[in-house]
Structures are given as structure tokens and as C-alpha cells.
A and B are shown apart, each in its own frame.
Chain A
Amino acid sequence: MIVNSGDTAWLLISTALVMLMIPGVALFYGGMVRKKNILSTMMMSFGILALIAILWVLYGYSLSFGPDKGGIIGGLDWIGLRQVGQEPSSVYATTVPQLAFMMFQAMFAIITVALISGAVVERIKFSAFLVFAALWFTLVYCPVAHWVWGSGGLLAKLGALDFAGGTVVHINAGMSALALAMVLGPRKGFKEGEPMEPHHIPMVAIGATLLWFGWFGFNAGSALTSGGLAASAFVATNTAAASAALTWMILGWVHRRPTILGTVTGAVAGLVAITPAAGFVPPLAGIPIGIVASLICYYCSLFRAKRRVDESLDVWAVHGMGGAWGAIATGIFASIAINSAGADGLLLGNGLQFAKQVVGVVTVLVYAFAVTWILGKVVDAVMGLRVKKEEEAVGLDISQHGERAYGGISG
């Protein structure tokens, strides 16, 4: 295996791009909460960045990508990065140092855990969230990543396609978000219809911009090479983001006004949906994939609010359901002409691929929801998931972190 400098450069840059999505999530979520909880909301992303980065090099990479054990999980052969060095792997990204591939994958693990935090903002105890995150990473993220992307993983062997993480990242995070929010319960005042007003929408827009920017690394980087496939995934990504942003903007307009909160949410929905498809579908498939993504996520968000489930920042609606649509859309629009390692989809007469995609979606959807529910209950029983009533009232910035975002009256 020979290291290709172009591929390596692109993968390292892509890794850094994906890293930038994590503060992107922090700002995106931070602007949507009330001002007494912005720091705690951002802290969950930053805390996860630090925590999961360590767990990943210690054992996460090995569990996810190490030598296969029965299709279920990677072995511990690569624990502490043993045998993971400057030489390329013989199975993954065979033209770049395995260390680069390992680090690229680290960012995916981190952002997936960080995404879940949107469901539980403004009321979860920080210590409990970190404990939950470590358990969830070990028992949900690593196995699912192995099934889908690990050499010998059961969904990989089945042939379910996931270019950059529609199932591993988005369905996984979205369904887990829903389960954890249901275990945790709603914010005080939510059921009574108190408005949970987003306190800083420009911050949400900046966060979404960082996400869109970083997503080029997420999706085009997932080509793992710097050639035509990366370019194709790049165009598909931008096209889907734009098409979904436009669709959500129009949905808001039809309702009353075109909002920036809605438009940037649409962009994220489109980016989520194109994630599994980006390197398997023709770039222009990004247009229908984006349109349908916004329609699905918009109505899922409405449905969620109507059922009065406080999955606070719509991780389920946007990532869970957007990811599910994207994975299924991969089975519709995929073409072997785009990626010879992929497959033809429904539109090219291959209904079997469509079925495989559905199996992949349902498997991850059920596993993530069920295991997260159990983990949530366990952490709650052992240490309590929720802050005290008074702590929630005063806000988590002060009660959990001893700092406030917008201070001082004395100049």
C-alpha cells in the first residue's frame, strides 16, 4: 500500500473541516435555547469533543474498525492505536496513512454524540450526560459504525450503502435523541405551552454556516480519495443543502413568513439527507433529495410539537427522519456509473438495493432507540439524569457550570 499525497492532504483537510462542525453544533444549538442555558448547551458539544476524542484513540477505533468479530463488533487488536500507524490499512482508505483515516472517523464519532445533546438541553445534568455519552459511544456508536462501515460488518456484508453516515451518524443520533428526551421528560413549562424562545438566531445561522462548510469534508472527504468521486459528492452535497433550504423557506412563507431559523434548518435537513447518498447518486439527485428532506423534516417537527414531546431541538425530526429519508433515497437514486463500489438503485431497476437500504434503516433505528432508552433509564437510576427544580429555574449555565454568558450590570 502506497501513500498518495493528494488523497492524504484531502483527508487531513476534511478531518479538520468535520472538526469545525462540532463548534458549529454548539452555536447552532446554543442560539436556540434560552439565554440562561447557552453555555451549558455549548459545553455539551465541547465536552463531548474532548471526551470522545480520547475514548476513540483508546478503544473506539478498534471496536468500530478493528478485525471483525462475527459481523457485530471490531476486535480489540487495535486498542490504543496498536498497529495503526503511518502505513495505509489494507482494507480502509488504502492510499492514506491509517492514522489519517482513524482521525477522520474520530470526528464522525464525536459529532454523532454531540448531536444527541440537542434533545436534552436546558434540563440534563452535565455529569450524567457525560456518563451517558461514554456508555452510548461504546454500546451504540461503535457497534453501529462497525455494522455499516467495518470490514465484515453485518450491514456492510448485506450491501446497505451509507456513504458518509446517514445511518451511523444521523439515524443513530436522531433516534437516540428521541429516546433520551422521552426518558428525561420535558423542560419545566413545556407542557403548559410556555414559549421556549430561541434567544439568538444569528448564532444559529453562524452555527448552520459552519455546519454547511464542514459538511464538505464530511461528505466529499468520505470519498477517501481526492479525485472525481470527491468532486461529485461535493456537488451533490451543496445542491441538496440549497434545495432543502429553499424548500423550507417556502414552507415558512406559505405558513406566514420565510424565516432564517427555518431556512438554515432546511439546509441542515438537506445536508443530513444527502449524507448517505452523496457519493452514490448523480449530483443533481441532490435536488429531489433536498426537497423531500425538508418536507419530511418540517412535518415531523410539527408532529413532534403537536404530540408535545420535548425533544427540544428536533434532532429526531431533522437528523433521524432526514437521515432515514437519505438512506432510502440512496436506494432510489444510486447509480453504479457514479461509484463503481456502489450499486444501482430503484430508478435503474434495482429494487433489491432499495430493500437493503430499508433493512439498514430499520436495524439502526430500532437498535439506537432501544439501547438508548435502556441506557437512559440506567443512568437515571444510578445518578439521576435531571438537574434539581431550582437549578433548572435558575438556568444550567450557573447551576452546572458556575458561569454566565451575558454578564454584569456595572459596565
Chain B
Amino acid sequence: MKKIEVIIRQERLGAVKAVLEKKGITGMTVTEVSGRGRQKGIALQWRAGEYRVDLLPKLKLEIVAKDGDVDKIIRHIARSAWTGKVGDGKIFVSSVEKVVRIRTGESGEKAL
């Protein structure tokens, strides 16, 4: 099993969710996060003059999936989160040792 962590633009969440849902992937955890990468920050205005905010609001999606589904999921996310401008985000994949469904006590891929 793999955990796919995805940083995306806030406004792309709907598109990403829709495309994954079509492929039968419904489970995910979404968190509001702040971060920075190549996009740097943005300048905001104070009463007079401005100040720089170098952490921008993004969303982080966490999806745990079967090994065989990972490439497909990545492909769909990359397509649906894409705008082509700096700041589209990143995808991280890592191994997951164990998954347990709290309600039933099932573990492993059955718990996904």
C-alpha cells in the first residue's frame, strides 16, 4: 500500500475529486496548508505600502491506495490539478506498513 500526498491549488480540488470519483477513488483526507516552493510569495497591501507573504495557502490531499492503483491515481491528479503556471503543487508517494479500519478492526488492503 502507498500513501499519496498531494499539494494542489485550492481551486483545483473540485476537479481532482471529480476525476478520482469517476475512477472509483473516494477516500481522501484534505487539509488546508501553507507552504512555499518556486512560486515564492505574494505582496499584500497594508494601509500604506505593502508587505510580503511568502507562505501561500494550498490544500494537501492524502490518499492511501493499493500499489497497483498508484500510477493511475497520480496520472489523473496530475492532469486535473494542472494549470501550467508556477505553483501547481507536488505529489509525494511513500510506503504504508499497516492500515486498520477502526470500526471493524479489518486491516490491510481490506481496510482501504
Q: Is the CB of B45 within 8 A of A302?
A: no
Q: State how many residues of chain A have any CB contact under 8 Å with chain B.
A: 20
Q: Is the CB of A256 within 8 A of B48?
A: no
Chain A hits for B43, CB < 8 A: 256
Chain B hits for A257, CB < 8 A: 45
Interface SS of chain B: strand
Contact residues of B between 7 and 24, Cβ < 8 Å to A: none
Tell me if B44 is interfacial: C-beta within 8 Å of chain A: yes
Tell me if A252 is interfacial: C-beta within 8 Å of chain B: yes
**Shortest Cβ distance from A81 into chain B, in angstroms?**
41
Tell me if B50 is interfacial: C-beta within 8 Å of chain A: yes
Q: Is the CB of A302 within 8 A of B51?
A: no
A262 touches which of B45, B51, B52, B53 (Cβ 8 Å): B45
Q: Is the CB of B45 within 8 A of A252?
A: yes
Q: Is the CB of A256 within 8 A of B45?
A: yes
Contact residues of B between 51 and 101, Cβ < 8 Å to A: 51-53
B48 touches which of A195, A197, A198, A301 (Cβ 8 Å): A301
Chain A hits for B44, CB < 8 A: 195, 197
Chain A hits for B50, CB < 8 A: 255-256
The size bracket of the interface on B is: 10 to 19
A82 to B18, CA, bound (A): 76
**Shortest Cβ distance from B96 into chain A, in angstroms?**
25
Q: Is the CB of B47 within 8 A of A265?
A: yes
Tell me if A96 is interfacial: C-beta within 8 Å of chain B: no
Chain B hits for A298, CB < 8 A: 47-48
Q: Is the CB of B53 within 8 A of A195?
A: yes
Tell me if A251 is interfacial: C-beta within 8 Å of chain B: yes
Tell me if A378 is interfacial: C-beta within 8 Å of chain B: no
Q: Is the CB of B47 within 8 A of A261?
A: yes
Report A's interface with B, CB cutoff 8 A.
195-198, 248, 251-252, 255-257, 259, 261-262, 265, 298-299, 301-302, 305, 314
Question: Can you list 19 A-B pairs, Cβ within 8 angstroms, ordered by A?
Answer: A195-B44, A195-B52, A195-B53, A196-B51, A255-B45, A255-B48, A256-B43, A256-B45, A257-B45, A259-B47, A261-B45, A261-B46, A261-B47, A262-B48, A298-B47, A299-B48, A302-B48, A305-B46, A305-B48
Top 8 nearest A-B pairs (CB, nearest first) are A301-B48, A195-B51, A302-B48, A265-B47, A298-B48, A259-B45, A262-B47, A302-B49
